[in-house]
Every structure is written in C-alpha cells, then in structure tokens.
Structure 1
C-alpha cells in the first residue's frame, strides 16, 4: 500500500506518542511570591547608623554594627547590595557576610533569608521597638583565590556595600546614613566623604544618603601621601613601601595636566571635590572603578618611580576620571536603578565605557601622561586585536554589553571567537571614527570635543544624575554636525561583520601596518605582563612559563590544534624560551618548513607541527602623507 507523505508523517507521530508513558507524575510549580516591598521615592524616617571596625590587618575580619530605625512593627526587610554601579553585573560579596544577628535591645530577633532573593533578610519587629541593631562580620579574602584582597598589612580598601544592609521599600538616595570607621592606628584614610568627628583612629563621616555612601569608598594605608592637583582634585596614594611615594616633579605635573585638560574638554565639573584613591601595590587586589566624586585605582609598584616602565598603567587614572562625567553624571536610562536590588541593563555601555575609553586615551596624550606616539602604539594594538576578532562575524557589539553578566570576567578558552567586553575598545574605535567624520565635514572646526561639552558639560556643579537614551545621543551628535548618525551607530553597534571599524584612522591618514618589532607601548605591555604576544603572527600568546594563554580563532595555532592551558616545552627540539621561539619564527620566514612544538597538556605530551612562515608581526600605525589629520588634532593639548 502506497502512503502519501503527510499521512505517513501523521502515522509516525501517532506511533511515537503511543510509546510515551502516560502514568508518570507531573507536578505543577509553586508560585514565586515577591515578599520584598518595591522601592518608593519617599524619605526614610530616621538615620541609619553604621559602625565598622577595620583594624584587623592580620586576618582581615571586619566587625560591623548597624542601627536601623523602625518604621512600623511587623515584617521588616533588609537588603544586602547586589547590583553595584560600575560593575555592570550583580557582584555583591554576599558570601563574605557572616555572623549575622539582629537585636531589639536585649532581645534577639530571628531572621529568615528570602527564598527567591538570597540578598534579602526578613525579620518580625515587635510593637514598641524604635530601632533594630544588626551585627555581623565581613570576612575579607585572605588570598586571591577567594576573591579580591581588600586588606594587607600596609593598606585597605573599604567599600561600603560590603559592610552594610539597607531597608527595602525606599530609593537608596532617600535613606540617610551616618558612618563611623575604626582604622588601624597611625593609618591615614581618603574618601570623597568628609569627616565630621575624629577621635584617634575612629572617624565619623557627615550624614549622606545611602547612594552617596555606596559611591564613596575608602583607601587607607600606613604609607600615604596626598597631592593637590588643583580644581578641587586630590591624588591620594597609598603604597606597599614608602619608597613608592617619591613622585618626580614632572610626573606630578602630568597628573595636574590631566585635571586641566579634562576640565577644558568638558567645560564644567560635576563634583564639589574629587579624590583619586590610588594604591601602588602588588598585594592589594587590582581595581579600576568609577565613582562620582572619586575613583578606585590600583597600579603596580614603580608607577611613579619608574615612569617609562609603567607606561601600560598611564591610562587608568584618565579613564576613571572621565567617568565622573560619563557614567556617573550622564548615565544610560536603563542603567539607572532606584536601589541595589533592581537589575541593571547595559545596552548603552558602548557609550558609557566606549566613549570613556576614547576620552581616556585622548586625555592620556593631551596631558602628557604618555606621548602621542605611545598612545598611537596602544591604539594600534587595540585596532589590530579587534580587526582579527572572528567573533565579530556572529556576535554584534551590542551583545557584548551583556558580557559582565554572562561571563562575570571569567577566563575564556576562545576569546577571539566568543568575544568579551569589546564595547570598551570597539566603542573607542567608533568614537574615533565619529570624530574624524565631524572634523572632515566641518573643515576641522568641530569634533567630538563639541559633543563632550554639549552632552556632558551641562549643569555645572550638579553631581546628581542626568540619564539619557539613544535618541539623546543622536540628537546631540546632529547638533554638532548633521549626519545620518542613527544608521552609523546601528551598523557598528547592532550589526555583525568582518574587520574592525578603522575609519577613524584611515580618514586621518593612518594605515594599520605590521613590523617585526613591537611598538614601544606593546613592548612595555609585554614586559610588564611577562607575555610573549604572537597574536598577529602564529596566532597565540604565551606566558613566561611557556603556557598558552590565548589562541586566535582561525590562526595557524588554531589550525594546529593548540589550546589555552597547553604548555610549550620545546621548539624544534630546543627548550622553550621567548627568545628561542622568536628566533625560530624569524628564521622560518619565507620558507616552507613547519615549526615543531613539543607541548604538554595534563599527562599528554605531543609533537605539534605549526605552519607559519610569515615571520614576526606586531601592529603599528603608519602615517600616510604629511598632512595633519583629524587624529593628530584630536590628540593635541588644548
């Protein structure tokens, strides 16, 4: 009997369904009940008092006591901060909170953790109770594998969100807080907060709202210096050793230039005072985090004392300072939240972080923190890295703004294919191109400086938040120079494609080339990180011990089957070292011989033939012609 295709398919489906057991249990899910009151834009009645004992530098155990006024008897919900500004992801250190106890006078109040939101704690407050006391410890990491180290014998970094709870049901900007900290004896502390009372090593800060408190972290240390950079800005530095605090006069002047050039760029400031919190250390955990009136910055030893060698670190302070305008004062509307429980959305990070990355490099050059040639060297590495990033073929830039949430900055096996937080550096390339378009269309009379003043330079003295949308960005760009900016941004942000957006360089008369030796910026970076970067030749990077730390998707190393974590033991029968592999790649240039790598991964040792005869290749920009282009003008001091 001959069946029609449709009839045959129906009979097959019926037969398949008949084989599915019908007596299996099939429960229905329990509904999730939200027990946490929504944040309201009303004042919290009373002031929260927070006391932190941060004197333990041996075990790093901080003791916290918090007094929280009671609004009414019954259920009270207290929250531990989860979604933290500048982190672009839920990064609250809840696992470090221990020993939590609530009391009303001498009575212990039992608590329960919310079953759906583990950052929320519920307790029942008896009638007549005016305030609740919370006590707990923050167990700061004692080694990097537990998290970022916050305490050493020489310094500490106190972030208020780690050591406090706040009442649910209110915008954080409507909750008053008075904080007191006991620091190790003899240490000095810096923060955007200002003391109201100081007695010995105990400092009480003036009352602020909880949002401002969270945005005003502390660096404190045994070895400390403060430098007035002018315009209400202070550079506060703590160090592992007092020798690191010797600052040459010309280096200090470059930091003063950074402040001057930034204010000339934006035309207004959005802080009453600003404090760089700066640690020169190899012991405290690394950080670069923006705040409205301060920033947290860690640089390696030698930052001041070996200025040329510290070239890779010269961009950190410019980047974080720009954030006072971009990210803190002007903030994407979907990143502004009423509290630290509401999820943040990152869709405009290509402006928040991308344009900050752009201005950070521009100000690095304008201030003299690095020379123009050094900055161009850094930009060449950025451009080349993104130009060979195969992941651009499937993942648009806008989707990388979700990476802080998806990946949480964990290591990746195939970064060039998976992509990472590319909105930083690819955003930089987009805004470099935008500047070249504006300058080209206006005969160099206008550029992105005009956008900066129009977009970020409004309302001088206001250190609140002015949110924005994509429409606001496009409107401001068109106010500077009429162009189809919406399509320009859509193509580069929302669309996939091959090759990075390098128009900002080509329009300025620069060509991305490759040479057999690294430019000065890349050489300094490789020396500081002890990395052998062969990304643009064989297609891999190798650490000082021969371990592969990156394999470029589609590269010769990729085609040879090499993976991250594999260790190169030998090259052509000779024990691996950086000089040997570079020498072998150089001698093989133009020939047809394969490089024979001996590698080890786990218990497996194998011989890997690597086909690459193009020699060593390191990116740099070559100026085409002598004409002064948009990029040259952009990087000049103002």
Structure 2
C-alpha cells in the first residue's frame, strides 16, 4: 500500500477511511470485552448449574485393609501337599488344608509377595491358576482384593472349621515366561511361589506340615528336618511357614551328595550324570570354604547347612540365600572343566556368607513379620555389599576360585567404577538400593548412566578400603575379619534373626579400630560424584592398569557368552552376531550414534568378525583415520565413523610391591591352611 493512500479496513460490508476505523476499532474492542465478560459469566453460571445437578467424581473407598500381622499363634496346623511329578507339562498341583478358629466368617489368604533375598515385591502372582476353595464339602466363592491382588477374600459358611484350597502353579516353560524351575531332569521347588498363608499373623507363628510327590525315582535335597519317604511322596516335620519358605527343594534324576564337614553338605543335581564328576582336590576346596567361613565369622548360625547346586543350562539360573541352605546354579561343565570355568564359581561362597549376613544379621528395615509388609533396603550396602566382599575373599582363601581369578574380579570392579559408570556423578551407591523395586532387574537402555544394583560391587570396594584402613591403622594386627567376628559371630548356634542399624555398624567398626567411620561410610556410600573407589586397592598394594587383552575373569565371561567387550575402547559390547548389547553413555560409540540393537555389518570395508573389529581398533592407534563401521539399524544401513585411537583397553590389577606381600595379598591368604 502506498504511503499516504487511504487505508481500507473491512467493517461489515463497508470500507472506511483510516481515521474512521480507528474510532471504530476502539468501539469494537470495548464491545468485544463486554461480550467476553458476558460469555465468561454465562459459562461460569452454566458450569455451576451443571455442578449443582451432576455430582463430580469423588474418590471411592479403598478395600478393607488386609489384617496386619500379629505375633500370635495361628489356630492349627496347615497341611500343604504339592504334586510336583508332572515334568511333561511343568506344573505343580497344590492342595492346602487350612484350619480356622470356631466362628470365623471372614478369611483372607495371601500369596507371598515381598520375598527375602529378592529385595522387592516379586511374588509371581499370575502363575497361580484354577484356584478353588472348599468348606464343608462345597466350593465357596472368593474375591481377589482390588488393591492387594495377591490377597484372596473368602466369606465362610457358618460352622466352617477348615478351608481346602486347590490350585495349580503353572511353571514357566520358556525363559520369556519367567524363571524355569522344572525340566525333564530336575526341579527347584520354592514353597512361597505355590502356597497361601492366612493374613493377620507373623509367619513364624503359622505351623505347616509339608508333603511333596516327586517324579519317579528322583533324589530330593532340602534343609527341612524329618525326611520320610513312601514311594515318591516325601513328608517332613511340621515347621513354621517362615522357615518353610526359607527351605527350598532341589530334586533330580542325576544327583549326588557330599559331606563337607561341620554338618555342611553339597547337594547337586545336573543335566547329565557326567557333570557330577568333580575331582577330589577340587571338592576339597569346598571343605576349605566351610572352614574358612567359620574361621572368619567365629560362629555358625545353623545346625546343618545344604548347598543346593544345579549344574544346568536348562533350568533357570539362581543364586539365593537361606539360613540353612542356598540355591545355586552354575554352568553344566563348571566342575568337569574346573580351570576353564573358574569365573563361574563365586555364587557358592557369596550365598554361604549370607547365612551370617542377610539371614542372621539383617538391616532393621529389611526385616518384616510376613511377606505382605514392604521391605526397606537402606542397609543393603552391608547386606549385599559386605557379602560380595567376603564372597570374593573366601573364594580365594579356600581355592574355590583361584587367587588370579579373584584379583581379576576386583580389577573388573575397579575398571567399572573408574571409567565405566558415569552415573556415579549424579546417583549415590546408597540410592541404588532402590533399584530392585525401581527396575525389578529388567534390562535398561543405558545402565552406565542410570546405574543398577551397585551396592553389591562398589559396596565391596568400600569394604575393601575399610579393611585396609584397619590393617594400616593397627600395623596389620587387625582387619575386617575382626569386624566380622564382632558383628556376625555373636550368639553361636542361634538361627533366628538379629537386626542392626547404621549406628551399630559404625559402633562395631569403631570397637575394632577408632576412626571416623560414620563420615567414611556416608561419604563413600551416600555422596555423589566421588573419586573412583580405588583407595582400598591402592592401600593394599595394587593399582589399576589397562592392557590390550581381557583379564582372566572378563575373558572367561566373554568366551562363555560369546561376546566382545569393548567398553573401555569404543564404549560398547557386542554379541556373537555383531549386535550391540550395551553402550557406554558418552562413549565413542554413543557419540557416533551407535546404540543398543544396532548391528555392525562391516568394519573398514571388511565383513564383521571379532578379529576384524579387534584388528581395526589396534590399527587405529597408529593412524589418524577414524574407524569406519557399516551398521544396520532396523532396515536402514549407514556408515559411521568413530574417531578413536586409544587401542584395546581392559582393566587389570598390578602389584606396587613387586616381590613382597602386601595388605591385599594378606587379605586373600588362607586362615586355616
């Protein structure tokens, strides 16, 4: 529009001069404001009218609370019978007879949810099926609680003296459905996954009489007392429900038992009979383990103990602690290929330590009276962290694992927290105790950033530093062994539970060696962005170094799982097909856009193989050219260049006291031989 020209503005169907439209605009704005106010008032009045005639949503009442556990004896003994003989279909058929007190009309039965050792609510509720209840010879209806979905509410007919429950535990047939607990050769029966208990009672006050029918001719192992067998049906003494749940069963067609001394037994089931052929000198290391543990803790908190071990890749893996037993799985050939499978045997020593740490001694907020009250995990850095520490140490002291292997395990741990866990900048070790509830051990896209259950291994490195502080402060006269005796070695023979809190941990440490332990623990465990936890290794006479080949622990795992670990070079791990299975946050691969599920098709124009990838990384050390990768993501292919020239890098420990024994060496030295 030319300058000075009459501007035309639309007003209805008329064109007005600019000066006229200016006044008109003011008039229209005033009118619009009035209309807007009127509209708002009308809408408000309309909403109020609707509110007065149509009620808005209000919070519905929650179901009646589940009766809280009381420390009172339950009225009668529950009979629990399980038919575990159907290995073809992989199901457990359960019949429970539950007595009820006279006059009981409302009964709540619970499937265990918060299971000791799992550190979260992991009850496999969905695996129970065909659930039916009977009273006075007739089937009675039930209602599942709409909030606590593991609770079954029953209204009992007048005069009911007992309720019979019948249901099926549908054991997973493939790993995607859950952990496989029954194969053609073995089973692992865990009572809490296929039984109910009455709400309102401490589980230690509910007596149960257990009976199980097994496949024909199978050998049965458990810590339960009073074994009595008729054909393939086995019964045991009546036991309280808490200790029943704490006494799982391994059974199998290929089985053997060894006496390790001190009323400790090794009970093994295997996929094939030849896998049981352990050499006498290797079996002796497990006898050493028992002696070393008793020497370390100074007392035992079991009358007898059973290592339940499955040598299998058919049944699901497990490492779970109990007071008088433990559930363990190792690769099928871990005994007959002793040296080659050295990396795979730490589970036994770890779970044995838990008899003292986790079962006898337990964090005060982790102990619960039943399996409905949530557990709190604030002290898992003691429960699991110190167990991880002693699991390493006792494996070395006994020979269950070689000194070289245990040293390599510490090296792998040191490398992870020195360079492989950028999440340490924002998240403390103590906060990772929430990981079992937050994630339930499912895969995460960037574990190096989010962190996972680092209270285990970083916790072990913190306890290693505590040991070395005591050793240096007492000139070698004391170490963490003295803490172990003072903390775990009390009340010999008692196999109930004794709880502790942060202050007791500090007080006991201070009784061994005076130091500001509260600040030490809070800084290392509750602080973020702390220095890498290498101080204990350095005080012990070792340093973290990097080499171009894996240490024996990393090599054992990579060879067995057929992976290529490039975490500390390109910042990723690959499976046997060249697919990325993990990516280091802010590492070279990540920064080039290579993430999980990307497949490496070619390296520098050559078809991918592990050797080709290793060669390319090594060659790049003396070249300025980036490493060129052809990658596939979904249906798309692209060339990615990674400008990395640091070569292959793997963590190792190297002694700084060559030719001389140091604090770390003394820690791993036998106490009984």
- Give TM-score scaled by structure 2 length: 0.91
| Matched residue, 2:70 | 40
Cα deviation, residue 20, structure 1: 14
Matches within 5 A, 1:224-623: 224-388=255-419, 389-623=421-655
Partner residue in 2 for 1:5? none
C-alpha separation in 2, matches of 1:403 and 1:31: 31
CA contact (8 A) 1:195 1:203 kept: no
* 1:566-605 Cα shifts (integer Å, max 9, x gaps): 1111111111111110011111113211111111111121
Distance (Å, rounded) in 2 between the aligned partners of 1:446 and 1:503: 18
After TM superposition, give the deviation of residue 196 of structure 1 in Å. Answer: 4.3
Residue 132 (1) aligns with residue 157 (2):
no
After TM superposition, give the deviation of residue 380 of structure 1 in Å.
Answer: 0.3
For structure 2, the residue ranges without an aligned partner over 5 or more in a row are 1-35
1:55 aligned onto 2:63: no
Q: Which residue does 1:211 correspond to in 2? A: 242
Contact residue 330 and residue 345 of structure 2 kept, 8 A: no
- Aligned partner of 1:184 in structure 2 is 215
Which range moves more in the overlay, 24-33 or 534-543?
A: 24-33
- Choose 1 or 2 for highest CA Rg: 2
d(CA) in 2 for partners of 1:31 and 1:430?
A: 48
Moved more, 168-177 or 588-597: 588-597
Task: Decide whether the 8 Å contact of 1:390 with 1:498 is kept in 2.
Answer: no
Displacement of 1:622 after TM fit? 1.2
Alpha carbons 1:435, 1:630 under 8 Å: kept: no
Give per-residue Cα distances to partners, 1:249-273, cap 9 Å, x unaligned.
Answer: 1110011111110010001000010
Q: Which residue pairs with 1:630 in the alignment? A: 663
3-state SS of the aligned residue for 1:360? helix
Unaligned segments of structure 1, at least 5 residues? 1-13
Q: After TM superposition, give the deviation of residue 33 of structure 1 in Å.
A: 3.7
Match of 2:19 in 1: none
Query: How far apart are the structure 2 equivalents of 1:241 and 1:175?
Result: 39
Return the alpha-carbon distance in structure 2 between the equivalents of residues 106 and 374 of structure 1: 61
- Where 1:179 maps in the other structure, the secondary structure is strand
Cα displacement (A) at 1:374: 1.7
Deviation at 1:19, TM superposition (A): 12
Deviates more, 1:179-188 or 1:601-610: 601-610
**Structure 1 position 195, deviation (Å):** 3.4
Deviations for 1:300-350, whole angstroms, at most 9, x for unmatched residues?
111110001111212110000000000000000100001000101111111
Give the drift of 1:27.
Answer: 1.7
After the TM superposition, which parts of structure 1 deviate over 4 Å for at least 4 consecutive aligned residues?
Answer: 18-22
2-structure distance, mates of 1:141, 1:19? 63
Equivalent residue for 1:6? none
